[in-house]
Amino acid sequence: MPGLTAAEWEIIQLSLRVAFWSVLCSLPLAVAVAMLLARCNFIGKGLFDAVVHLPLVLPPVVIGYFLLLLLGRRGPLGALLEEYFGIVVAFRWTGAAIAAGIMGFPLMVRAIRLSIESIDTGLEAAARTLGAHRWRVFLTITLPLAMPGILTGTLLSFARGLGEFGATITFVSNIPGETRTLPLAIYTLTQVPGGDAAALRLSIIAIVLSIIALMLSEWFVRRAQRRAKGHDA
């Protein structure tokens, strides 16, 4: 985009990197959790479901605070990671990705779960009757049929990651070039004299990226609905 400075490009690239890694790392766990909630009945399922969706209703600052307590350099997990693996996530872009991943995780799980629940279990049962192993049934039947929901959840989580503010600033602060993503940069620019123009440019970029993700998500939802009705696009 014409007129963007090197610092603004850096902010955009950092935001995309944080959102990308947040969905990439949380996707396998989201598929597993969605499969568990869609297909299994167990004691405490309601509580487990509530915990998974807790980031949707808790203030993001609370999530960021608990991440800081847990993964900070003095936190139980943070201290272990630093001592044994030399990994520090607090006040790093990797920590921003973790915060974004947690905040978008419920959206991803919900979309994938709904997609899995819409699959005709008779298809999976027929495959197992023919001798296919459970893992083969999952990889060749369940996963492909659930792909629209997986893509939808991924895009929704990606858009959520781009807009994450509260958990990020609480857990990893607002460090230029390291953790200052689009929302944090916009907030910073609104607090300094003469920053309105740059804040407006970054806000427009954030809106465009989010609209693209939401439009793609809606397209996948409609395509899934057409497939369910037997009218493949």
Residue 232 has pLDDT above 50, yes or no: no
> Cα(147)–Cα(149) distance, rounded to whole angstroms?
5
Counting other chains too, the contacts that 48-56 makes at CB distance below 8 Å and 24 or more residues apart are 52/105, 52/106, 52/109, 53/106, 53/109, 53/110, 54/106, 55/102, 55/103, 55/105, 55/106, 56/106, 56/107
> Cα(140)–Cα(91) distance, rounded to whole angstroms?
41
What is the pLDDT at residue 3?
A: 63
> Cα(182)–Cα(186) distance, rounded to whole angstroms?
6
- The per-residue b/e assignment along 35-67, b for 16 or more CB within 10 angstroms, e otherwise, is bbbbeeeeeeeeeebeebeebeeeebeebbebb
* Burial environment of residue 15 by CB neighbours within 10 A (0 to 12, 13 to 18, 19 or more): buried
Q: Is residue 182 part of a domain?
A: yes
Residue 2 has pLDDT above 90, yes or no: no
Q: Is residue 156 part of a domain?
A: yes
What pTM value is reported for the model?
0.87
pLDDT (tens digit, 9 = 90+) per residue, 109-145?
999 999 898 887 788 778 778 777 788 888 888 888 8
Count of structural domains within the chain: 1
pLDDT (tens digit, 9 = 90+) per residue, 140-188?
888 888 888 898 899 889 999 999 999 999 999 999 889 999 999 999 9
Q: Is residue 32 part of a domain?
A: yes
| Number of Cβ within a 10 Å radius of residue 88 | 15
Q: With cut-offs at 50, 70 and 90, classify the pLDDT of residue 225.
A: low
* Burial environment of residue 223 by CB neighbours within 10 A (0 to 12, 13 to 18, 19 or more): middle
| Domain extent for 113 | 6-228
Q: Is residue 113 part of a domain?
A: yes
Tokens of 91: 């006040």
Q: Is residue 183 part of a domain?
A: yes
Q: Is residue 196 part of a domain?
A: yes
> Cα(37)–Cα(22) distance, rounded to whole angstroms?
22
Q: Is residue 1 part of a domain?
A: no
Q: Is residue 233 part of a domain?
A: no
pLDDT (tens digit, 9 = 90+) per residue, 186-196?
999 998 888 88
What CATH code is carried by the domain that includes residue 139? 1.10.3720.10
